[in-house]
Chain A
């Protein structure tokens, strides 16, 4: 094994000298406390190591020893429902051992070694296997059947299946003779280096929506399964609430939520809320499909840097089982800052705003691990990635936001003014975009929902409104012709009745496709009828005085997903109120 002796210590970055045998990205242990580190640069006999724990008290002369392995995660049954730190240490175990504060020098295994799993075995002797062939299935939670896979790189034939009533993760389940004729024991789990993407056969085009139950997202700026999106926004504009909403309601099979350099209380909230919330499709607890990575802002920045790799590697693993995985990283800016801090301590040449020159390529490397892929000849899986971006001072021209923009196809821009006015989600309709809309429109159309024409009308009305508002700000609404004032009112209905969605309202937090459609339709229908009456010479104020006008703004919080028939009644009311008006005016 490789080794070295510490020479320089400055925060989380240490330098060892007289180093021999250490490899790039190798996991090392430092001193008697066996602090975990990773080699991030080698220069002759000098190695730069990032240490994943506090380095206070560590002095020159301390020994460094290599483990021979790159920094890796364990992949196997027992991940779901757990909370890990940035290097996959189980926080529940740490809490049991150390109490309420995280101290250093403890390195419990991510997967429980004692727990036994019943495996439903699919293979038999002499079966041919390739990477990702399913050996058997474990019911990990009532929602997820965990598929035990032949690890990447292993091709061959089954020599023996070892049958046990219950397997622990370290038990061997089958023995393979590989192409070279070597015997390989396959256990319930394997490890994988976090910085290396897991192989697949090929990328596939996007076909299906990642349905989130958020109206402005699904109907206007949708994300595909396997797509990549970013949510940039200044502080308090709603990145975390949106990420939480997606983690709760998105129709993915597995959710990986990474709290990367953010607040402890937000993680506590997820831990308290998710077990109690029910998945709208299966009715099961949301925690049964969720894995949390919590490396809060006060935890070591080095582990923050690795947290997104830990997360995406687990996501790829579940993808390889054929699942649709959605990964949320809140916030990628904190990850980038960790990168900057590490780079600064290594005294690298900074590029823009102190970030290292490789910021862009690292970001690309992360987002590229998302996608919809063919895992085996007959299995498809996907990883959707949604990264929050926290631009300093809300300035979107800064490096992290502008680089991110190059790699994502959906961009949900959070607008400070909307957030100040408590228009939530504060997703700007002027600056956001989705590159998946065309592919996804088919999904809506298969439900007989003409999403294209609906969306065009919404966007047109909002664009005209933006323009009219500028005029109104100069001369007042009274100076506009009635027709244009009606456009303003229609836009108001779209904004307040459709785009706004209160994540805190139990009725409105999740909006089914059907409900989205009915809401949109009734609003657009109102506009059409109003336009018709206006043309017949009816004054606008009469129309907006209709009680139904303000009522339409509340249908989101008042009509439940399962009460779709109430929309029929509402539509009747719209019709009736307009008819009455028409009669009054002849």
Chain B
């Protein structure tokens, strides 16, 4: 990066928050990387707008400490890039993709624009292979598919980190092959980052892990780049090198807040709750960097984590995420307070790609109907519970009382499991049958007679 900087400039016109405006420049390109230097300050930035000889730059680490007259700005003539190579595996980078593990620079096989390019829809292969995680709620009811983007919608204090770490540690491609894990931390607490590292280590994942870390006290605007570095590495490792890559990104809420910060410093017209109108498109440029490609080995699967402000699923961040991702795993405070782990609210959770990844030859023949029956029955439980709270359990009809029993077992025996317990798909499905047996056969209309015959005793 330190070769020729053909466009240099001394002094800025204006500084506001993360924005620095320079005048009197020539030939500056939209989106190019800028280096901001002043004494021992060295920061990176990006051109957000050029008009004539005026360039508006976004400084990732903010403009505090910058002296309007002394600052030197160099325009690099190219967008921000990341050197990629297989040597990245096992390494730790900061939020802008610079090594911070003391093991030296990565010799890139190639420099890639971190913004990437859209995958041609015609080059995509529709994802079909499931990833079994050993977690019943996921494998049975929101099955994860290789090449899917399936976020966890959580709330402050809920165990999303545990679940993500458990997925990473238990997910396998086959006996011989493991996923490459890419972990992108955006604005999370050092404790949480340590937690992940510890769990990855316990699960033996460190040697196949690439980490990009932007912590809560790291510059916030830098977070806008962190996931892009992670996904650039993911694309290289998956589509160039044929690996199956699992990307965990946390916490997207911090990312969106950084985006809002820049938009408001630019004086843009906000849409909902102060977030810019392009939040959807911006998030899509991250989430859509997932999938499978025809004729290539590898895959990218994303599990983004976000905390819903005030547990509100209609907040723009979870809302727009849900509109882009292929489903969502929603955590419930109520289940958490009941002591259920993982506290997954299955009613609002969904995996849109599971339909092609389950059933005969993939999981088990009865899986699709069992899935459908569990949902139908559990949705009835919700209604019966609210009725019971009004008229009292004793007044319920017999069938309704069966539903209450089913609901309790479903949560206690099917959903609930240990943080290191890995269940086989057989066991998950058998537990599904077991809890359904609380209900009379006439209630099991989503299952065929033959299925009931064959599996009821499991």
Contacts and interface: CB of A to CB of B under 8 A. Distances in A.
A347 B12 CA distance: 25
Interface residues of A, number: 76
14 contacts: A54-B117, A60-B51, A101-B118, A263-B324, A265-B124, A268-B126, A271-B121, A297-B324, A353-B271, A353-B272, A393-B314, A474-B390, A476-B395, A550-B443
Contact of A58 (B30, B288, B390, B443): B30
A341 B277 contact: yes
A11 B113 CA distance: 16
B140 to A, nearest CB: 14
5 tightest A-B contacts by CB? A297-B284, A393-B314, A56-B31, A8-B51, A421-B379
B117 A101 contact: yes
A387 to B, nearest CB: 16
Contacts of B293: 100
Contact of A496 (B316, B327, B445): B445
B79 A56 contact: yes
Interface of A: 7-11, 15, 54-61, 83, 91-92, 94-95, 98-103, 234-236, 259, 261, 263-265, 267-269, 271-272, 294, 296-299, 301, 334, 337-338, 340-341, 344, 350, 353-354, 390, 392-395, 420-422, 472-478, 496, 504, 544-545, 549-550, 553-554
Nearest to A395: B314
B27 A59 contact: yes
Interface stretch (B193-201, B349-357, B428-436): B349-357
Given A59-B30, A100-B239, A340 B322 contact: no
Interface string B394-407: 01110010000000
Contacts of B375: 421-422
Contact of B126 (A95, A269, A296, A504): A269
Given A56-B31, A58-B30, A298 B285 contact: yes
Contacts of A92: 122
A236 B272 contact: no
A475 B396 CA distance: 10
Kindly name the residue among B278, B291, B396 whose own CB sees the greatest number of chain A CB atoms within 10 A.
Answer: B278
B188 interface: no
A424 to B, nearest CB: 10
Contacts of A8: 49-52
A55 B121 contact: no
Interface string B149-160: 000000000000
A101 B116 contact: yes
A464 B278 CA distance: 44
Contacts of B272: 353, 392-393
Contact of A56 (B27, B29, B277, B379): B29
Given A60-B52, A267-B121, A473 B387 contact: yes
Contacts of A340: 271, 277
B281 A265 contact: no
A259 B396 CA distance: 48
Given A92-B122, A102-B118, A298-B288, A337 B52 contact: no
A337 B280 CA distance: 9
B30 A56 contact: yes
Contact of A344 (B277, B323, B324): B277
Interface in B243-290: 268-272, 277-278, 280-281, 284-285, 288-289
Given A101-B120, A296-B121, A272 B268 contact: no
B234 to A, nearest CB: 14
B281 A301 contact: yes
Interface in B53-101: 53, 77-79
Contacts of A554: 445, 448
A294 B123 CA distance: 12
A100 B285 contact: no
B50 A390 contact: no
Contacts of B32: 56-57
A472 B387 CA distance: 8
Given A236-B322, A263-B288, A61 B121 contact: no
Contacts of B11: none
Interface of B: 26-32, 48-53, 77-79, 113, 115-127, 147-148, 239, 268-272, 277-278, 280-281, 284-285, 288-289, 291, 293, 296, 314-316, 319-320, 322-324, 326-328, 347-348, 350, 352-353, 355, 368, 372, 375-376, 379, 383, 386-387, 390-391, 395-397, 400, 442-443, 445, 448
B288 A296 contact: yes
A55 B386 contact: no
Nearest to A545: B442
B30 A11 contact: yes
A583 B44 CA distance: 88
A48 B445 CA distance: 60
A57 B119 contact: no
A56 B117 contact: no
A264 B124 CA distance: 7
Given A265-B126, A296-B121, A354-B270, 12 more contacts: A10-B30, A54-B117, A56-B115, A57-B77, A59-B29, A99-B123, A100-B296, A236-B350, A265-B148, A268-B291, A269-B126, A549-B442
A476 B387 contact: yes
Contacts of A54: 117
Nearest to B263: A344
A301 B281 CA distance: 8
A271 B121 CA distance: 9
A235 B127 CA distance: 20
A353 B320 CA distance: 15
Given A83-B122, A103-B117, A10 B48 contact: yes
B417 to A, nearest CB: 23
A225 B379 CA distance: 37
B89 to A, nearest CB: 22
B53 A60 contact: yes
Contacts of A544: 442
Given A236-B350, A294-B121, A264 B291 contact: yes
B51 A57 contact: no
Nearest to B323: A235
Given A298-B288, A341-B278, A496-B445, A100 B316 contact: no
A341 B281 contact: yes
B79 A61 contact: no
Kindly name the residue among A101, A235, A340, A475 whose own CB sees the greatest number of chain B CB atoms within 10 A.
Answer: A235
A282 B161 CA distance: 53
Given A11-B30, A344-B277, A350-B269, A296 B118 contact: yes
A59 B119 contact: no
B127 A265 contact: yes
A337 B281 contact: yes
Contact of B120 (A59, A94, A475, A553): A94
Kindly name the residue among A9, A341, A390 whose own CB sees the greatest number of chain B CB atoms within 10 A.
Answer: A9
A9 B30 contact: yes
